[in-house]
C-alpha cells in the first residue's frame, strides 16, 4: 500500500520534471523578444481601441509609438495632449502640442427648414439609404438622419435629436477620433479646431448646388452669395462651387460673417449671447 | 413540358392586371427631358446647343466611350436648355430639355406598318446600325446592345437566348409587344443571330402568357424554323440572365463570368423589337412600351411612349393620383426603382410605372432570424442570405467574399420570403458593392 503511494508520487514528480524541462527549452527556443516599453506605453493609453489614431487599436498604436523614431504624425485623439506628453516623456522624446479638435455637423436643415419630399421606409442606415437614392428631402447633400454616426461613436458623444432629425455633438465627450466622419456617407461631419474656450464659427451646410436650387430645397442652405467672403477681413472664407468654407486656422472669430449670412447658414458656437444695440441703449437710458 | 431553372426561386402573385390593355400611343408632351445617362457606362455627349431645332429621331448626343450609346431626340422642337437635373433617384444627370413644336420626323425613318422581312445587311453593318441607333438592352440594365453583339476575341457565341419571360409581377409591356408585334420581334431575333453568326436561337416565354406562346409558335413555324419558342414554368427570377440560361440550355455561368463564357448571348424581346426597328426601319430607339398599372388605379394602360416623358405626366394621363397610392415604382415591384421625384423623366429602359398601395409596400417590423432557411431555399444563386446579412452588418468583407456575396443578382427573393422581415437585400447589396470594388481594384492576373 505504502509502496504504491510512494511509487505514484515519485513517478508523477519525475514526469513533471521531464515535462517542465521540455517546456523550458521549447519556451527558450521559440521566445519572442518584445520591447517591454510597448506594454508600458499601452498602460498609459486610454484603452478605448477606437482606431482614431489610424492604428487598429491601442496595442498597435503603442507598438507604432515605440518603433518609430519621432512622435511626428502620432496622436491619440482620445487621450489628447496629456496622454501624448506622458508617452513622449516615457520614451524620452518631445512631442508638439496639438490643438484640440471636435466633430462638427455641417448640416442644419431640420424638419422645418428642409421639408421632406418623400418618405423613406427602408432599412435604418444612412449607408443603405445613400446607396439607393439622393435622400428624402430635395437637398442632395444634407443629413439623411438614419443615425450611422451615432452608431459609430464609441464615446456616446454624438446623438440624433429626434426633434430636428439631425445629429448633435456633445463637446465634452467628443474626442475627435473621426469615427463619425468615416461613417457618414454624405461626408457632412468634419473635424475642426475646438477654438479658444470652445468658440468657433463654421458654415453649417455642404450644399454645392446653385443658390436658387439650394434655397428651394432648404431655408438655411449656403447659397454661395459671397457676402461672407467680402466681409471677412482675414481672408479665411473661400467659396468653391457655390459653397462657403471657413478656414479655422485663419478665422479670428470676429463674427462679422455670421451677421452677414442671409440664410443663417453660418453658425457661432459658445459665444456670449448678443444683445442688440437698441436694447443696450435703452438699458443705459434707464 | 415546361422548363425552369434548378435552384431557388419564388412564386409571387403575378398581378398582370393590364394584360388586355392594347398598346396605345401616349400623347406627345409639351416638353421632353432627355437624359444623357440612359445606359450603363459613360454618359453621352450632347451634339446640339441651346436654341437648335431638332426633329424626332435626330441624333442629339453621341456615345462617349467604349461602353456608351447614342441618344436621339424623341420629339421635334427647339432645344430649351442643357442642364443637370435629378433623375428618379434624385441624383443629377445631364439632360437635354426640348420644347415640343409639332411632330416632324427625320427623313429616312420608315413609319409604314409594312413588315420588312428581307435581311440585306451584313453582320458588321447590322451591328453598326444598332450602335448608330442607340439601341440598349431593354431588360432593365440598359447595357448597349452593339457591345453585347460583338463578343470579345477568342469567345464564340453558340446560342442566342431571347427573354420573353417577363417574370416580374404587374409588367405587361413585353407581353403586349409579343402579341402585337410578334413577327417584328422574330425578325429582330434573326437580325441579332446574323450579327452574332449563330445558327440556333431560343425564345423563352412563361406559361402564364399562353396567348403570346401560341402566337409566337404560329409565326415561328411559318418562316423562322431556327428560332425555337420555349415554354417556361412561372417562377421568379426566370428573366435573370443566368437563370434563363440554366432554364433553357442547362448551362451554368461561372461566378463573375458573363453569359458569353458559356457560349450564350441573352437579349430581351423589347431589344429584339428595337433592333428590328433600327435595322429594317431605320428608326432610332426613342420610344418604348410602358405599362402604367397598379391595383389602386381605375384603369390599366399600356402606352407606346417617347423617351423623356415625366412620370408626372404619365400619372396625369391616367387621371391623376388615384386614392390610396403610396409608392411609385419605375419597373416591376421586385427589382424596380422607387421614383422619389415625379418630375424625373422616363429613359429608354423604362418598362413600367407602378403605383402601389400602402398595404403592398409597407414593410413589417423587423424581428430576429429564426434560422428557417427560407431565404436559402429561395436564393436563385445558391447563396445564404441570412449569413450574408449578418456578415454585412459586421462589415466582414473577407468572409463576405468567401461566401460569394458578389454573385448576388439583387432579385429580392430572400427579402420576399423572410418571415421575420429582415432587410436582407438592403444589407447584402451594400456589402456587395464594397466587395466588388475591392475585387475590381485587384491587379489582374
Tell me, what's the pLDDT at A31? Answer: 87
Cis peptide before B275 (omega within 30 of 0): no
Give domain status of residue A74, yes or no. yes
The answer to whether residue A177 scores a pLDDT higher than 90 is no
Domain count, chain A: 2
| Yes or no, beta carbons of A128 and B89 under 8 Å apart | no
Give domain status of residue B94, yes or no. no
A82 and A128 within one domain: no
- Using alpha carbons, select from B6, B2, B47, B7 the residue that is nearest to residue B382: B7
A211 and A152 within one domain: yes
- pLDDT band for A277, please (50, 70, 90 cuts): low
The answer to whether residue B341 scores a pLDDT higher than 80 is yes
- pLDDT band for B445, please (50, 70, 90 cuts): low
A176 and A61 within one domain: no
d(CA A244, nearest CA chain B) in Å: 21
Judged by CB atoms within 8 Å, which residues 66-125 of B form the interface with A?
A: 86, 89-92
Tell which of B329, B362, B395 closes a domain.
B362
- pLDDT band for A97, please (50, 70, 90 cuts): confident
B399 and B310 within one domain: no
Average pLDDT over residues B42-52: 93
Tell which of B330, B362, B394 closes a domain.
B362
Chain centre distance of CA B399? 32
Tell me if chain B has a CB within 8 Å of the CB of A284.
no
| Yes or no, beta carbons of A128 and B90 under 8 Å apart | no
Give domain status of residue A53, yes or no. yes
Q: Which residues of A touch B422 (CB under 8 A)?
A: none
B176 and B239 within one domain: yes
Give domain status of residue B79, yes or no. no
- Using alpha carbons, select from A229, A234, A211 the residue that is nearest to residue A221: A211
B320 and B172 within one domain: yes
Give domain status of residue A96, yes or no. no
A179 and A229 within one domain: yes
Give domain status of residue A180, yes or no. yes
Which residue among B338, B341, B429 sits closest to A131, beta carbon to beta carbon?
A: B429
The answer to whether residue B285 scores a pLDDT higher than 90 is yes
Tell me if chain A has a CB within 8 Å of the CB of B390.
no
B355 and B427 within one domain: no
Residues 6 or more apart in contact with residue B346 via CB below 8 angstroms:
B290, B305, B307, B308, B309, B310, B311, B314, B330, B353
The answer to whether residue B300 scores a pLDDT higher than 70 is yes
| Yes or no, beta carbons of B340 and A122 under 8 Å apart | no
State what percent of residues in chain A have pLDDT above 70.
98
| Yes or no, beta carbons of A122 and B363 under 8 Å apart | yes
Domain count, chain B: 2
Which residue among B86, B338, B426 sits closest to A128, beta carbon to beta carbon?
A: B426
Which residue among A117, A123, A135 sits closest to B423, beta carbon to beta carbon?
A: A123
A190 and A156 within one domain: yes
| Yes or no, beta carbons of A121 and B362 under 8 Å apart | yes
Tell me if chain A has a CB within 8 Å of the CB of B361.
yes
Record the pTM: 0.85
- Using alpha carbons, select from A70, A68, A62, A54 the residue that is nearest to residue A37: A62
Q: Which residues of A touch B321 (CB under 8 A)?
A: none
Tell which of B311, B329, B362 closes a domain.
B362
CATH number for the domain harbouring residue B129: 3.40.50.11540
B220 and B191 within one domain: yes
A226 and A132 within one domain: yes
Average pLDDT over residues B284-294: 93
Tell me, what's the pLDDT at A247? Answer: 93
A173 and A198 within one domain: yes
Which residue among B338, B361, B427 sits closest to A128, beta carbon to beta carbon?
A: B427
Give domain status of residue A21, yes or no. no
Give domain status of residue B185, yes or no. yes
B96-147 residue pLDDT tens: 999 999 889 999 898 888 888 888 899 999 999 999 999 999 987 889 999 9
Give domain status of residue B110, yes or no. no
Q: Retrieve residue B243's grid coordinates.
A: 437563370
Asked if the interface predicted TM-score (ipTM) of this complex is over 0.95, the answer is: no
Tell me, what's the pLDDT at A81? Answer: 86
Give domain status of residue B52, yes or no. no
Give domain status of residue A283, yes or no. no
Size of interface A-B (CB pairs under 8 A): 44
Tell me if chain A has a CB within 8 Å of the CB of B340.
yes
Judged by CB atoms within 8 Å, which residues 127-156 of A form the interface with B?
A: 127-128, 131-136, 138, 140
B161-203 residue pLDDT tens: 999 999 999 999 999 999 999 999 999 999 999 999 999 999 9
Number of H helices, E strands in chain A: 11, 8
A110-132 residue pLDDT tens: 888 999 888 888 888 999 999 99
A119 and A55 within one domain: no
User: Half-sphere exposure (CA, 13 Å, Cβ side) for B154?
Assistant: 1
B386 and B341 within one domain: no
Give domain status of residue A284, yes or no. no
Give domain status of residue B107, yes or no. no
Ranking A27-36, A178-187, B194-203, B229-238 by mean pLDDT, the lowest is A27-36
Task: Provide the mean pLDDT of chain A.
Answer: 89
Task: Provide the mean pLDDT of chain B.
Answer: 92
A236 and A117 within one domain: yes
The answer to whether residue A165 scores a pLDDT higher than 70 is yes
Tell me if chain B has a CB within 8 Å of the CB of A121.
yes
Give domain status of residue B288, yes or no. yes
The answer to whether residue B232 scores a pLDDT higher than 80 is yes
B306-326 residue pLDDT tens: 999 999 999 988 888 888 888
Query: How far apart are alpha carbons B176 and B87 in whole angstroms?
Result: 27
End-to-end CA distance of chain B: 44
More confident residue, B372 or B362: B372
Give domain status of residue A86, yes or no. yes
The residue in chain B having the minimum alpha-carbon distance to the alpha carbon of residue A136 is B340
A56 and A112 within one domain: no
d(CA B303, nearest CA chain A) in Å: 27
| Yes or no, beta carbons of A123 and B86 under 8 Å apart | no
A120 and A182 within one domain: yes
Q: Retrieve residue A179's grid coordinates.
A: 469615427
Tell me, what's the pLDDT at B181? Answer: 92
Q: Which residues of A touch B363 (CB under 8 A)?
A: 121-122
The residue in chain A having the minimum alpha-carbon distance to the alpha carbon of residue B362 is A121
Tell me, what's the pLDDT at A175? Answer: 87
A189-222 residue pLDDT tens: 999 998 888 899 999 999 998 898 899 999 999 9
Which residue among A121, A122, A140 sits closest to B90, beta carbon to beta carbon?
A: A140
**What range does the domain containing B395 cover?**
374-441
Other Cβ atoms closer than 10 A to A119: 9
CATH number for the domain harbouring residue A74: 1.10.15
B329, B422, B427, B430, best to mutate vs chain A, most A CBs in 10 Å = B430
**What range does the domain containing A153 cover?**
101-269
Q: Which residues of A touch B389 (CB under 8 A)?
A: none
B390 and B351 within one domain: no
Which residue among A122, A131, A136 sits closest to B423, beta carbon to beta carbon?
A: A122
A193 and A52 within one domain: no
B253 and B350 within one domain: yes
Average pLDDT over residues B278-303: 92
B397 and B358 within one domain: no
Give domain status of residue B401, yes or no. yes
The answer to whether residue A278 scores a pLDDT higher than 80 is no
Amino acid at each position: 500500500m505504502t509502496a504504491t503511494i510512494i511509487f505514484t508520487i515519485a513517478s508523477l514528480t519525475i514526469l513533471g520534471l521531464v515535462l517542465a524541462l521540455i517546456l523550458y527549452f521549447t519556451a527558450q527556443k521559440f521566445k519572442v523578444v518584445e520591447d517591454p516599453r510597448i506594454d508600458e506605453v499601452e498602460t498609459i493609453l486610454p484603452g478605448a481601441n477606437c482606431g482614431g489614431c489610424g492604428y487598429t487599436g491601442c496595442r498597435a498604436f503603442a507598438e507604432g509609438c515605440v518603433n518609430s523614431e519621432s512622435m511626428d504624425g502620432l496622436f491619440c485623439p482620445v487621450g489628447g495632449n496629456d496622454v501624448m506628453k506622458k508617452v513622449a516623456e516615457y520614451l524620452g522624446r518631445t512631442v508638439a502640442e496639438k490643438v484640440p479638435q471636435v466633430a462638427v455637423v455641417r448640416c442644419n436643415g431640420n424638419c422645418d427648414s428642409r421639408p421632406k419630399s418623400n418618405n423613406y421606409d427602408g432599412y435604418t442606415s444612412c449607408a443603405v439609404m445613400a446607396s439607393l437614392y439622393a435622400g428624402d428631402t430635395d437637398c442632395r447633400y444634407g443629413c439623411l438622419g438614419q443615425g450611422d454616426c451615432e452608431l459609430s461613436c464609441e464615446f456616446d458623444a454624438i446623438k440624433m435629436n429626434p426633434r430636428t432629425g439631425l445629429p448633435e455633438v456633445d463637446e465634452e465627450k467628443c474626442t475627435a477620433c473621426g469615427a463619425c466622419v468615416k461613417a457618414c456617407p454624405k461626408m457632412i461631419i468634419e473635424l475642426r479646431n475646438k477654438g479658444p474656450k470652445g468658440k468657433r464659427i463654421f458654415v453649417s451646410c455642404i450644399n454645392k448646388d446653385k443658390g436658387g436650387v439650394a434655397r428651394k430645397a432648404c431655408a438655411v442652405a449656403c447659397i454661395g452669395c459671397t457676402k461672407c467672403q467680402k466681409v471677412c477681413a482675414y481672408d479665411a472664407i473661400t467659396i468653391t462651387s457655390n459653397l462657403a468654407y471657413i478656414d479655422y486656422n485663419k478665422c479670428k472669430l470676429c463674427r462679422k460673417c455670421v451677421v452677414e449670412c442671409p440664410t443663417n447658414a453660418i453658425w457661432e458656437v459658445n459665444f456670449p449671447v448678443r444683445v442688440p444695440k437698441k436694447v443696450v441703449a435703452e438699458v443705459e437710458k434707464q | 413540358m415546361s422548363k425552369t431553372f434548378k435552384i431557388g426561386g419564388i412564386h409571387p402573385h403575378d398581378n398582370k392586371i393590364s394584360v388586355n390593355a392594347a398598346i396605345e400611343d401616349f400623347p406627345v408632351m409639351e416638353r421632353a427631358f432627355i437624359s444623357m445617362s440612359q445606359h450603363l457606362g459613360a454618359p453621352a455627349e450632347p451634339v446640339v446647343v441651346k436654341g437648335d431645332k431638332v426633329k424626332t429621331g435626330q441624333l442629339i448626343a453621341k456615345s462617349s466611350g467604349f461602353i456608351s450609346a447614342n441618344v436621339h431626340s424623341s420629339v421635334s422642337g427647339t432645344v430649351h436648355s442643357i442642364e443637370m437635373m435629378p433623375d428618379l433617384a434624385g441624383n443629377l444627370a445631364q439632360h437635354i430639355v426640348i420644347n415640343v413644336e409639332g411632330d416632324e420626323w427625320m427623313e429616312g425613318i420608315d413609319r409604314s406598318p409594312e413588315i420588312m422581312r428581307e435581311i440585306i445587311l451584313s453582320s458588321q453593318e447590322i451591328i453598326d446600325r444598332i450602335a448608330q441607333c442607340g439601341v440598349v438592352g431593354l431588360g432593365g440594365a440598359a447595357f448597349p446592345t452593339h457591345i453585347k453583339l460583338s463578343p470579345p476575341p477568342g469567345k464564340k457565341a453558340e446560342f442566342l437566348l431571347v427573354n420573353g419571360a417577363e417574370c416580374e409581377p404587374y409588367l405587361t409591356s413585353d407581353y403586349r409587344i409579343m402579341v402585337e408585334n410578334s413577327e417584328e420581334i422574330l425578325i429582330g431575333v434573326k437580325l441579332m443571330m446574323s450579327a452574332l453568326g449563330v445558327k440556333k436561337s431560343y425564345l423563352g416565354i412563361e406559361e402564364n402568357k399562353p396567348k403570346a406562346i401560341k402566337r409566337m409558335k404560329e409565326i415561328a413555324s411559318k418562316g423562322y424554323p431556327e428560332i425555337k419558342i420555349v415554354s417556361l414554368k412561372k417562377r421568379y427570377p426566370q428573366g435573370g440572365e443566368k437563370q434563363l440560361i440554366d432554364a433553357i440550355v442547362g448551362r451554368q455561368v461561372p461566378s463573375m463570368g458573363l453569359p458569353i463564357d458559356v457560349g450564350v448571348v441573352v437579349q430581351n424581346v423589347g431589344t429584339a423589337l428595337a433592333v428590328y426597328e433600327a435595322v429594317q426601319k431605320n428608326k432610332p430607339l426613342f420610344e418604348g412600351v410602358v405599362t402604367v398599372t397598379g391595383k389602386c388605379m381605375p384603369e390599366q394602360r399600356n402606352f407606346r411612349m417617347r423617351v423623356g416623358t415625366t412620370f408626372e405626366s404619365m400619372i396625369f394621363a391616367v387621371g391623376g393620383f388615384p386614392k390610396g397610392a403610396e409608392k411609385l415604382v419605375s419597373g416591376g415591384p421586385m427589382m424596380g426603382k422607387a421614383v422619389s421625384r415625379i418630375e424625373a423623366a422616363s429613359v429608354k429602359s423604362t418598362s413600367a410605372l407602378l403605383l402601389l398601395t400602402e398595404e403592398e409596400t409597407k414593410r413589417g417590423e423587423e424581428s430576429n432570424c429564426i434560422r428557417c432557411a427560407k431565404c436559402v431555399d429561395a436564393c436563385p444563386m445558391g447563396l445564404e442570405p441570412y449569413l450574408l446579412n449578418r456578415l454585412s452588418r459586421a462589415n466582414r468583407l473577407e468572409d463576405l467574399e468567401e461566401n460569394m456575396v458578389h454573385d448576388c443578382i439583387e432579385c429580392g427573393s430572400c427579402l420576399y420570403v423572410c418571415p421575420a422581415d429582415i432587410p436582407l437585400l438592403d444589407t447584402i447589396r451594400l456589402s456587395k458593392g464594397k466587395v466588388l470594388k475591392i475585387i475590381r481594384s485587384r491587379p489582374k492576373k
